[in-house]
Structure 1
């Protein structure tokens, strides 16, 4: 804590079980990862279920990054989740003390204790959130102390479990990775199976792994952050204790898990009273909805907002013209194209409700969601999130999605590299008082650096040639976007307007 915050509440006690008694339930969950997403979503949901008597299980956490676990032990593994935001027009303020974590073990120094947990007959579930590359297969021995990669650690744990239970069906486990990777469960299973083969763990283990360990694809959706020092001090004064693990999050949350009846019976923290946890044999609807509506909107609107001189998503939503653009783009051009299943909860109404929830989330004044952070690998995101939406719009309406075209044009302008320094690329925008230089963190920045040199600001012909060249590049988009009637021309016209009339005037004309 800062000296200022200590001075603000010198007698404030630390959050511990002595000041906030809480029951410790049998250890049913092993969790790889200590990050805020896990603390603010799965652990928070398990805490809620424990309080309502629906799960009555605790979580053992494994920390892989270093051997320091005192931030948890100093607080008896308690922490607070502070929920702040707007939901369906109503302000939400909620503080929850999470006591669901029983222990935090450091893999580097306590791996034998981790393996000992494998022999616990009450253990049912394994959750993980490492990094995007954390699920990748690494060829290594699982008998190291500890193994290096997460899949190797998991394989070592599962093999110890197998040896202790003798291949018992009843002692199988449910594994739920939450990493933001497509088909994360299948990817992790493949890595574990490869490690089992490389380490020659035998046919019986492979059989037990195949039939009694269920790897579930899952999707998590919640913005969870650490509070700023100022916000932390304010919240501590509000709750009346110090909490160095204080976790800050928005009201909206969803955890979609791909699973069958066995998974439903095991995950008793998910039932009819928790619509935020969805267990279904097919979760593609939820993946597609989030990818197109939430992520796709971010990618199409970030460049325009940043070129306007805005800093955060909340700034965009308080800007009268930009907020109108975002809402109209999302509701009129993206939502109609998202495939629905025609059943309650997976129909057009569910997609529309999700979009309105997203707009509430974008308006959340408590979250500093920086536009520049959203811009990371913008080209790859544009392809993955929006190309299918554009194609589907044409299939449905046989017309140019006009706001999408403007968002695409703004993306091209955002990618205008003005200089390169030691392999780093930079763009430039006009702001009050001069020019602002910003980093372009995109693998295709060099590509655009070369192509933008062919463009002359007052030459519509060079703008059109540039746009046509980029949109026809199949390596970028996995398709030729110039084949869509009028799309290339609309993007070129918008880009020309952005260059000549300016961002604000072009945006105002588009939403008028």
Structure 2
């Protein structure tokens, strides 16, 4: 079977208009996919130059002439979706470690107007360093060096300004990146004229990306390669749902001609879309992952196949989370849009083609719980509905998931019983793992009093939650009772009783 290349799949060369920092699957499956589709529609005629920062290896791209396949698999509005798209929009992939001078030369390209990034959440952090290193260490420093070279080559021209769209999963990612670039500009003494050009002619846009993109399993890769008739080491699996919300005005719309599809939203305020995703999709993941994993399940799709777990997820999302999400009285941003999004999310959770591992979702669970669910919990109480039973149950499962039984080489390890009498050990990958390891030492499984004391102590910790959750009437009692029942009777039997009592 031949490898994917431009002999197997001929593709036209297009002018390089987009610079992209990052080679990950999210970029390949969302922004690059959007640009590919726009090229096919004829609304955009451009290619992407990718900068790889992590190491100097670009062989996986060059060996395939920078082509790769995006396989869309899933269910949308009850219909199975299976499509394959060969993305030919990438012109070349360059290594920052070995090709930095060539990358800087790209700044002189008059066609280049758009910069996209996804460098991990900490990748936007400010690092005080010289931008004249080859290359600079941090992404903001690399970007500052590139923009400075652009400024020097165009003489401060307004027409040669740029639009920068970070896609890192950080609140106000565009503003954060702009702040880092401005601080680096001052530290490196790049001058008033560059500072002025940066302020008026380089637009940093907050953005939100929403699509689950994964690498395929070996079995899925083999099946798809047999279907298409070539091998593809960059094969990317993704779900049908895709959304890219970009904060911007009419000028931004003019500079992004590929944004001529309903799945790309350009608006001066994208907070509605951020809140909707954060609360409904991410918040549900965070409140249900511990429970699903403690039941012995491995993936989100497994949760949706489990009769009790799927009912719990639907009830939590539709009855307790959706009614709390802020909305506006206009089509597409109203209560109906939130409910429609929630139904889409349930379809996405059911997707049997994506191996969305629960243990991967568990990374930094405590910080996620605070960011995604505390405000939801408070809003529920503000609506005068009393104790949110599903949220309390999910929170109890989270506390149980955080119970480490030992420490191994600095890593805290938890344990769950599996069918047949075995024990599964899992890492508690959370900055607060040591905190919970200490507090759990005070709990005696059969003692409701010790469980209540533990829960009260955790909920009152304003450093964890930026609020005193004990102030929410009945919440501490509900969490403690659910947690004690799980410790005494087991997770599944407790969930069965919980759902039966609803």
Provide TM-score, normalisation by structure 2: 0.97
Distance 1:92 1:498 in 2: 39
- Find the counterpart in structure 1 of residue 333 from structure 2: 346
Which string of whole-angstrom CA distances, capped at 9 and with x for unpartnered residues, describes residues 16-75 of structure 1? 112211111111111111111111100000000000001111111111122222221221
Question: Residue 450 of structure 1: CA displacement?
Answer: 2.0
- Find the counterpart in structure 2 of residue 382 from structure 1: 369
- The alignment partner of 1:170 has SS state of coil
- Aligned: 1:424 with 2:411: yes
Question: Residue 113 of structure 1: CA displacement?
Answer: 1.6
Please show how residues 85-484 of structure 1 align to structure 2 within 5 Å: 85-271=74-260, 274-433=261-420, 434-484=422-472
Question: Residue 362 of structure 1: CA displacement?
Answer: 0.7
Distance 2:57 2:477 in 1: 57
Question: Structure 1 unaligned runs (5+)?
Answer: 1-11
Question: Structure 2 unaligned runs (5+)?
Answer: none
- Find the counterpart in structure 2 of residue 49 from structure 1: 38
Which string of whole-angstrom CA distances, capped at 9 and with x for unpartnered residues, describes residues 173-192 of structure 1? 00001111111111111111
Distance 2:384 2:80 in 1: 37
Which string of whole-angstrom CA distances, capped at 9 and with x for unpartnered residues, describes residues 452-494 of structure 1? 2222222212211211111111111111111111111111111
Distance 2:8 2:423 in 1: 53
- The alignment partner of 1:268 has SS state of coil
Question: What is the root-mean-square deviation in Å for CA atoms of aligned residues?
Answer: 1.2
Distance 2:441 2:91 in 1: 59
From 502, 505, 508, give the equivalent of 2:493. Answer: 505
Question: Residue 237 of structure 1: CA displacement?
Answer: 0.6
Query: Could you tell which deviates more after superposition, 499-508 or 211-220?
Result: 499-508
Which string of whole-angstrom CA distances, capped at 9 and with x for unpartnered residues, describes residues 129-176 of structure 1? 112111111222212222221111111111111111111111100000
Distance 2:215 2:412 in 1: 29
Which string of whole-angstrom CA distances, capped at 9 and with x for unpartnered residues, describes residues 252-310 of structure 1? 11111111111101111112xx1111111111111111111111101111111111111
Distance 2:62 2:440 in 1: 55
Distance 1:225 1:418 in 2: 31
Distance 1:141 1:474 in 2: 39
Distance 1:94 1:279 in 2: 26
Contact 2:214 2:355 in 1 (8 A): no
Distance 1:177 1:281 in 2: 16
Which string of whole-angstrom CA distances, capped at 9 and with x for unpartnered residues, describes residues 204-252 of structure 1? 0000000000000111111111212221111111011111111111111
Runs (4 or more) in structure 1 with deviation over 4 Å come to none
Distance 2:123 2:436 in 1: 31
Which string of whole-angstrom CA distances, capped at 9 and with x for unpartnered residues, describes residues 88-147 of structure 1? 111110000111111111222222221111111111100111121111112222122222
